[in-house]
Chain A
Amino acid sequence: MKELLRRISYLLNRRRLEREMAEEMADHREQMEPGRQTNFGDQLRLREDARESWGWTWLDRLQQDLSYGARVLRKAPGFTVTAMLILVLGIGVPLTAFRVVLADRPGASAPDADSLVHLTRRAPDAHMTSLTYPELAFYSANAKSFRHVIGLSQRNTATFGIDAGRAAESIHIAFATANYFPEFGVAPALDRVLTPDDERPDAEPVAVLAESFWQRRLGADPAIVGQQVRVNGKPVRVIGVLPRTAQSRDDVWMPLVRQPYVVDGSTMLTGWNTALTVYARLRPEVSPQAAQQETRALAARLRERWPDRVWKDEYLEARPILQFDSNSESFTMALTAGALVLLLLVAACANLGTLVLARGVAREREIRVRMALGAGRLRVVRQLLTEALLLAALSGVSALLLSTLVLKVMHLQDLSSAAPAPDWRTVTATLIVAMVAAVVFGLPPAFRLASLVPRAGRARTLFLGAQVAVSCLLLVVSSLLLNSRGRLAAAEPGFDYRQLVWVSPGLRTHGYSEPAAQAYLDQLRERVSVMPGVTATSQTRLGPWDDLHIGANWQDRQFVGNQVDSQFLATLGIGLLRGRNFKAGEGGVALVNEAAARVIWPGEDALGKTLPWSPTQTVIGVVQNASTAYVGTPDSLEYYLPSNQAEVADAVLLVRVSGSPRDVVRGLHDAARGLDARLQPAVTVVTDTYDREMSSASTALGMIAGLGTVANLLSIVGLAGLAGYTVAQRTREIAVRIALGARASHVVRGILAPMGRPIGIGFVIGALGGAAVGNILRSGIPTMAALNVLEPLPYVMALAVFGGVVGVSILAPSRRATRIDPVRALKNE
């Protein structure tokens, strides 16, 4: 330790120490006998030797290397700019993507996020991701493992008006327990957030507004705070504004206990009828497993009170929010996306590697001179590596600036909540990545240059192959996506979705009993049927392409279902192939579509059979194939059951119109509220759902196509650089061949031949990788189900594009090769 301090003091006082040593040595020399003075040797050399024992020589060398490297980079601005461009893209794009994803994952801003868990209901054969309010209240009061239990209900529809007189507009409202805000680290953008005081029964109903809503609809007027507004017509005081975050797309937030205040007739607080997302803050020293164990006993107690609601052997699964579910599909997707993004970095490194290798040809002379003057091999390698590190550090800093800029734009556009300014972890990670990149692209060329026998080496083949593979992989994936999207747009879902609307009155939320709900629906249907333009109506459990799904798993195949009435087939326009339709009030029967029938009873007649997962239901009809649950799933396996009276309060009304579906939205809304003014009905135009799903597929396509474009640009730069340097390196040989009468095409072939193999191998690897990624995407994105990795067309397209890339990038160098004037070229040598 002391020694280290002493060393550091040497570093700080080196000038004085050096002077002293010089003086001391001069003395020594003077005192020696005149004849022996020459024996003393070179003083400078001696001082250097002595200094080496201070242990700071490496610093001197580093300084030398850095200043030399900086000079080299300055003297070759073309190379420096190209290399930095490549590396800034290679580091900056993945960096930005990761920063956005990490900042936008739930709980990213929560303090001490390790002790925050997401609670879901589990039993040996059941799983549910939401809890009801009675459960929330029960666990909150009784579970000792949890310091706080946090409940959220997001994306509820409501109306918002500044005052009673003015027209109210439709908004999304979230209800949350007040502890949500401190536990998830949500600080107010203006004034204050909800507090436990706001949850007291006698407290005034209050709300906070989301910043984006406040800016977009209220003109960012700070005077709104403290004002009374109307939510669903009820007076509510605004107490603050929430900052924009990616997780919350709700416009207004209110205490969870105030839900019944703004939702008329709601029995949320007492009934088993809401779906809350529930988190908990663990007490210190309590593990998620211990908490889970405690909820097992508590659930058994709760089951005594709600025997038909709480499952046997139920418990709450407590999963830390920052922990990914490694079995889930979304995790696989996240991993795939992360890998795709990182491939860009790989491409950039490989690319820069080829470029640096190619440039080495031009620097061979310089290196030889240095080595002839006594620089050791290792010293030369170190110097070249320092150059690479310098380049990488510059690019890393530029990449940070770039990502900050992009995030700033995204922040302003409400696309991401990531703070534009990088924190120390981001900076460290970026610099580490840059250093690793420098070693990858800098070390092999450095060793090759410093080796005494210059040869092409394997490094070039590897670099070239890697960058071709990455470019091709991204090309193949985007081309597969493009292909499947084209097919999706062309494919009909099996029913006419263009003139279809559905109304979800949300009866359960307002405490409707089953008979009351049925009466309401009958009345609504009567009113809607006589509206102009309406041609058919049907009462079903789920709307087409609803966010909710009912289904069954049989022999590893996913079947999706719905509860429908006898008008369903006519309203959607699905034809009956065999058997008959439901009769009113019928039970114990089922309809299946042709695809499902073929899977369950191959080669047999489905009529009269019972559903394998529900033996009480007998198939009475086979209908045409239609994909009513997920957009873009060809050959969806579907079954339809008659309406279940127990779930009628959740039912929706499908309406087919003859004109534009948008014309009836207002009328349907008014009709639904006309029967019960407390309701906040949601009216969905099915084409909107279709467009939304298509656009999410487009986003994935756009992202991958963007990556592919960048990777291919990199390829063009890299291949052109490589071909150009190859030509430069072999000018003399080419000149001789031309002088001897070689044809231009032969010359070009001679240059390109060594590049052919790595390009070919890279392309094959890229195509295989692309097929693998395509397979993963198909299982992860519902709209990508039509993606077929065996189809040749996308590969041909990718090959064509990549062929173009290769052609463009080597066109100029090969032209230059054929135009070499032998006389001049040989004279110059």
Chain B
Amino acid sequence: MPMSPEPMPKTELVPGTLILLVLRVLESGPLHGYAIAQRISRVSGDALRVEEGSLYPALQKMLRKGWVRAEWGLSDTKRRVRSYHLTPAGRTQLESERAGYDHVNKAIQAVLKLA
């Protein structure tokens, strides 16, 4: 595969955070798959890139767990799209994942400061 030079260095996601990010993005309203990837990328100032190869398995897992629901609808561009929205279970999951992430983050920060 030819390597194309990237204009900006893009960071791969920290493993395990994809679901947290997707949940958080969906908190503000239903979105379809492409929009989810776009939103994460834009909000992070193009720093984070969601691999499509991991987005769809993650969405399937979230559907299975009942954290999100999918509905077919029309997008702004009048395309048939499947948009995902958060369920109450998803909200709870978001809270717990966020708390877990904060906890780990604080711990990492503490170690970094000390060293």
Contact = CB atoms under 8 A, between A and B. Distances in A.
Interface in A1-43: 2-3, 6-7, 10, 20-21, 23-25, 27-28, 31-32, 35, 38-41
Contacts of A421: none
B61 interface: yes
Given A27-B79, A28-B34, A21 B56 contact: yes
Interface stretch (A51-59, A455-463, A603-611): A51-59
A220 interface: no
Q: Give the secondary structure class of A's interface.
A: helix
A55 to B, nearest CB: 7
B80 interface: yes
B64 A3 contact: yes
Given A35-B4, A38-B1, A46 B64 contact: no
A32 B51 CA distance: 12
B13 to A, nearest CB: 15
A50 interface: yes
B64 A10 contact: yes
B52 A24 contact: no
11 contacts: A3-B65, A6-B63, A6-B66, A20-B82, A28-B33, A39-B52, A46-B53, A50-B59, A50-B60, A53-B57, A53-B58
Contacts of A39: 52
Residue of B34, B66, B81 with most partner-chain A CB within 10 A: B34
5 A-B pairs with least C-beta separation: A53-B60, A50-B56, A53-B61, A28-B34, A50-B57
Interface of A: 2-3, 6-7, 10, 20-21, 23-25, 27-28, 31-32, 35, 38-41, 45-47, 49-55
Nearest to A7: B64
A2 B66 contact: yes
Most buried by B among A7, A20, A39, A52: A39
Contacts of A55: 64
B64 A24 contact: no
Contacts of B1: 38
A23 B81 CA distance: 9
Given A20-B82, A24-B33, A24-B82, A41 B52 contact: yes
Given A49-B56, A52-B57, 14 more contacts: A3-B64, A6-B63, A23-B82, A24-B32, A27-B32, A27-B33, A28-B33, A40-B52, A41-B53, A46-B52, A46-B53, A46-B56, A49-B57, A51-B60
Nearest to A4: B64
A40 B58 CA distance: 16
A3 B66 contact: yes
Interface in B45-79: 52-53, 56-61, 63-66, 72, 79
Contacts of B53: 41, 45-46, 49
Contacts of B65: 3
A51 B61 CA distance: 9
Contacts of A38: 1
Nearest to B38: A31
B83 to A, nearest CB: 10
Contacts of A45: 53
A55 B57 CA distance: 11
Q: Which of B32, B57, B66, B79 has the most chain A CB within a 10 Å cutoff?
A: B57
Contacts of B58: 53
Given A24-B81, A27-B79, A38-B1, A54 B60 contact: yes
Interface residues of B, number: 23
A21 B4 CA distance: 29
A10 B61 CA distance: 12
Contacts of A24: 32-33, 56, 81-82
Nearest to A6: B64
A343 to B, nearest CB: 49
B18 to A, nearest CB: 13
A27 B60 contact: no
A35 B4 CA distance: 9
A149 B64 CA distance: 61
Contacts of A31: 34
Among B33, B52, B72, B82, the most chain A Cβ lie within 10 Å of the Cβ of B52
A535 B1 CA distance: 114
A353 B9 CA distance: 59
Interface in B77-104: 79-82
Contacts of B82: 20, 23-24
A54 B34 contact: no
Nearest to B58: A53
Contacts of B56: 21, 24-25, 46-47, 49-50
Contacts of B72: 20
B23 to A, nearest CB: 16
Nearest to A31: B34
Nearest to B59: A50
A31 B80 CA distance: 13
A717 B58 CA distance: 54
B14 to A, nearest CB: 20
A53 to B, nearest CB: 4
Interface in B19-49: 32-34, 37
B38 to A, nearest CB: 8
Contacts of A35: 4
A46 B56 CA distance: 8
Contacts of A10: 64
Given A49-B56, A53-B60, A27 B66 contact: no
A10 B70 CA distance: 14
A23 B80 contact: yes
Contacts of B66: 2-3, 6
Contacts of A20: 72, 82
A21 B84 CA distance: 13
A47 B79 CA distance: 21
Contacts of B63: 6
Nearest to A36: B4
A199 to B, nearest CB: 67
A31 B36 CA distance: 13
Contacts of B34: 27-28, 31-32
A46 B80 CA distance: 21
A15 to B, nearest CB: 16
A119 B72 CA distance: 74
Nearest to A2: B66
A332 B78 CA distance: 82
Nearest to A42: B53
A23 B72 CA distance: 11
Contacts of A52: 57
A27 B81 contact: yes
Count chain B CB atoms within 10 A of each CB in A24, A32, A47, A49 and give the residue with the most: A24
B52 A28 contact: yes
A10 to B, nearest CB: 7
A577 B45 CA distance: 120
A54 B66 CA distance: 12
Given A24-B81, A28-B33, A41-B53, A53 B64 contact: yes
A424 to B, nearest CB: 34
Nearest to B1: A38
A28 to B, nearest CB: 4
Contacts of B61: 53
A41 B52 CA distance: 8
A721 to B, nearest CB: 47
Nearest to A10: B64
Contacts of B79: 27
Nearest to A52: B57
Contacts of B33: 24-25, 27-28
Between A6, A21, A31, A41, the greatest number of chain B beta carbons within 10 A of the residue's beta carbon is seen for A31
A25 B60 CA distance: 13
B9 to A, nearest CB: 16
A822 to B, nearest CB: 53
Nearest to A38: B1
B94 to A, nearest CB: 18
Nearest to B89: A2
A47 B53 CA distance: 9
Contacts of B60: 21, 50-51, 53-54
Contacts of B32: 24, 27
